[in-house]
Structure 1
């Protein structure tokens, strides 16, 4: 039984300001209670913000060398505790242990080492003519993170914020507080100065508004749903905060007609099912030539047989989804796809055979989907792939861009020039050609997928203000 009954504020583990209130955590694989979490309130947020504000005075003036030394200690502690982090992720959100120990933990490590690389050479000051352009830390940052890639989402915010001289208050998801607890312990063991990192657990509907409306919070970075992002932005507007949002997605995956067609369809299917489909940037809309629809169906049916589902502590490709609420939402949308006439070629409603307990969803594929169907418009956030036909490249790009979202897109094909051309025309913040991946590439969305960018050097800029000191250099003598 895991318990998170204290908050990390001003370098210490402290009890809630008011009476302790808790909520149970449910293991998604068993539906049993696996722990409990303390529920923070506005007073706890204020205490954390005040600690961050006090620490900002000194941390904002710390040297590059001091910050790098801290990050090297964090790296050492992260490596020591990676097994604990992976176990926490499996327990809290059902990620298979193979995934938790590899990509889930690897993403956090990648963001940490990338932050170190960027910090070593980041230009905080540049002379432009007679003016000095200075990039200064924005201040106290409220960070709100989701449960689906818990270590990734926390580290991609916390590390750039601290590296740039900001101080932070983290509100991790209520569903992923086990890993957040371990991360806080890592930062504490590494000797993060008191008040530089603070964490308050609790309900998003309570902690989020308290952060957004707090006059001493200078910026909010949130990864979550479109609804949550809009609410935080509206509340933050009262104090003219900067808001960085990474929200939903409905990523198009354009498969070209060439010799690798079946292989690329198969890869798109298995990629979609990673993390039980709970990835905002997943390739959830597969676009294939209408002339190859039957071939795509055959390849998808074969690929889905390789996606095994079961106990996340076993050797399975896919575990449960995170909660009963998420399970029910996915089931509703699967039924909606059937009702609207999409062709169900794999999976479908209910749990996989032999799994009568736990929030397990069948890996599901619909074919001959039209882009106006609900399952093609809404973010399902589960292991459900839709296959849509296109007539030619222009038609494929038209379908790809016919969405309210614009977070990520994918192109797969042998002709690199064609792939590059398509990638330039798809309106999304991140495009991957044939599986391309880069920790230094900026990540963020167009349209309702949010604003701002994370990852690499671009992630640093979200936490910086720009000051122009004019006349810094004397005018050149004539």
Structure 2
């Protein structure tokens, strides 16, 4: 299917501006390995211009600016953006599918979520108005106190390539709803739809500088954004290694950060499940989005009494997955994002084999696909907990299988990881599911499913999977500063000190 990639510049201060360096980055179609266009590449100079534009927008117009306007005022813009995205939905689906290699049906689901997210945080912006001046009960009647919720300032938003527009909106929508202005640095591997968000903002008349979009390489654009002294908060989604660097940079300025990092999530399957339902949720939990999900439930812990039967089902379900060009009808597994990531995934698979694991299914390029960064859905057995494939995030369609004997053993194995983003449990015994859900050391738990995500529910992890929460009622809180205002309300003299003699 022919898709025309729009030619865009950096989106700064409400308009398109060429990068100062003139640099551009090729857009590689992961299905064909062809160059299909170019995106602008921001550097530190562009970052500075974008941050200054956001700063100016934050304080513009003497009290009628973005930051001090009523939440209802900001909500109108968020809903206008949502409506414009609805209008352009089919175009945006195609652009994102060709840019990151996700199947069309998946990206269509994402675009609906993008719209829902803007609408949800439009409601949240309006709710802020009713929450202002919330009274605080005090033990002394002479004092009155209320609380103000104010935007934290300019937000630097750094987002990944696996869900390009959706992951950006998880940050952009609550930041703007809170009254922050923002600079968005999307991944250089998939920035096309994020740049189109700039055109959407321009079309609906979002005030200049409220949202600035500057794709570029991490060291050249992301690092300067994280370190910029006029950025008041950083929200990052990506790898733990990069997250650590951003935290170090932010710490020098005592700057708050939200971190949504990697994962090596478990899925525990007990012996009372329906095998076909369990098989489908297991492969969906790991192979959806081409396996490139930070929350992928890629460590399968299955009760020993059904392990062989479930693995057999997994193979049959995997054999039935249609792999190919994301634009093909019925495609359910597309390519890995880039040549570098493809090599990384294949290296994990070969290392697992060298360490003694069994590649039960997949593990290679599909024979009918000679070009593109394709990896078959892969099932690995005979895995030990010391193996690299069991401990480290692969970010590809690779699942490891390990049997267990008891509920206690399953929980211990599930929690034996540096990560703590998500986990799933499958069982007909809901009391057992409750026990396991409470025992998981994670921020997100799925019961009898894996991977569904809704903007109404909070998202985030523990341990090396990061901290802070996106989405849900707490999603806006990371972009707000809470201020108490206390007033002495008595007509009486305070009376702490002895008054001076009357003249």
TM-score range, shorter chain: over 0.9
Assess, with a 3 A threshold, how the Cα gap between structure 1 residues 220 and 117 changes in structure 2: closer, same or farther.
Answer: same
> Aligned partners of 2:376, 2:435: CA distance in 1, in Å?
36
**Within 2, Cα distance between the matches of 1:30 and 1:259?**
40
1:447 aligns with 2:450: no
Higher alpha-carbon Rg = 2
Match of 2:47? 45
Name the counterpart of 1:458.
474
Distance 1:36 1:437 in 2: 32
**1:13 and 2:13 correspond:** no
- Aligned partners of 1:78, 1:442: CA distance in 2, in Å? 24
Name the SS for the 2:336 alignment partner: coil
Cα deviation 1:37-89 (Å, max 9, x = unaligned) = 22111111111111111111111111122112112211210101111211111
Q: Separation in 1 of the partners of 2:224 and 2:386?
A: 38
Contact 2:10 2:215 survives alignment (8 Å): yes
Deviations 1:268-297 (A, max 9, x none): 113311111000011111110122221121
Q: Does 1:305 align with 2:312?
A: no
Render the CA deviation track for 1:185-205: whole Å, top value 9, x for unaligned: 112212111111111121111
Q: Mapping of 1:4-153 within 5 angstroms?
A: 4-16=7-19, 18-57=20-59, 58-101=65-108, 103-122=109-128, 123-129=131-137, 130-153=144-167
Mapping of residues 156-195 of structure 1, within 5 Å: 156-195=170-209
Distance in 1 (CA, whole Å) between partners of 2:94 and 2:223 is 31
Structure 2 residue matching 1:174: 3-state secondary structure: coil
Native 8 Å contact 1:337 1:374 kept in 2: yes
**Contact preservation (8 Å) 1:297, 1:345:** no
The 3 A distance-change label for structure 1 pair 259 and 328 is closer
User: Tell me, which stretches of 5 or more residues in structure 2 are unaligned?
Assistant: 60-64, 138-143, 494-503
User: CA RMSD for the aligned pairs?
Assistant: 1.7
Total equivalences in the alignment: 474
Q: Are the counterparts in 2 of residues 301 and 346 from structure 1 also a CA contact under 8 Å?
A: yes
Deviation per CA, 1:300-350, whole angstroms, max 9, x where unpaired? 1111112110111102111101000010000000011111222222101x3
Residue deviations 1:228-247 (CA, integer Å, cap 9, x gap): 11111111111111111100
What is the alpha-carbon distance in structure 2 between the residues aligned to residue 96 and residue 266 of structure 1? 18
Instruction: Spell out, residue by residue over 1:419-475, the C-alpha distance to the aligned partner (whole angstroms, 9 max, x if none).
Output: 111011100011111236432111111011011100121110010111111237659
Native 8 Å contact 2:21 2:43 kept in 1? no
Task: Specify which of 307, 322, 339 is matched with residue 293 of structure 1.
Answer: 307
Deviation for aligned residue 1:114: 1.8
Would you say the 8 A contact 1:25–1:37 is kept in 2?
yes
- Cα distance in 2, alignment partners of residues 186 and 211 from structure 1: 23
Q: Which runs of 5+ in 1 are unaligned?
A: none
What SS is found at the alignment partner of 1:470?
strand
Alignment of 1:405 with 2:419, yes or no, is yes
Q: TM (normalized to structure 1)?
A: 0.96
Whether contact under 8 Å (1:131, 1:473) holds in the other structure is no
* Alignment match, 2:352: 337
Indicate how the Cα distance of structure 1 residues 155 and 473 shifts in structure 2: closer, same or farther if over 3 A, else same: farther
SS in 2 for 1:456: coil
In 2, the alpha carbon distance for the partners of 1:393 and 1:235 equals: 42
- TM-superposed CA distance for 1:104, in Å, is 2.2
CA gap 1:125/1:338 in 2 versus in 1, 3 angstroms: farther
Q: Does the aligned pair in 2 maintain the 1:142–1:170 contact within 8 Å?
A: yes
Contact 2:39–2:192 (CA under 8 A) maintained in structure 1? no
SS of the residue aligned with 2:80?
helix
- The 1:475/1:268 distance shift into structure 2, 3 A limit, reads farther
Residue in 1 that maps onto 2:221: 207
1:28 to 1:294, Cα distance in 2 relative to 1, 3 A: same
Picking from 245, 257, 266, the partner of 1:231 is 245
Matches of 2:358 and 2:204, distance apart in 1: 53
| 1:170 positional shift | 0.5
SS at match of 2:437: helix
Secondary structure at 2:156's aligned position in 1? strand
**DSSP 3-state at the match of 2:259:** strand
Q: Displaced runs of 4+ in structure 1, greater than 6 A?
A: none
Distance (Å, rounded) in 1 between the aligned partners of 2:448 and 2:357: 27
Residues 349-428 of structure 1 aligned to structure 2 (within 5 Å):
350-428=364-442
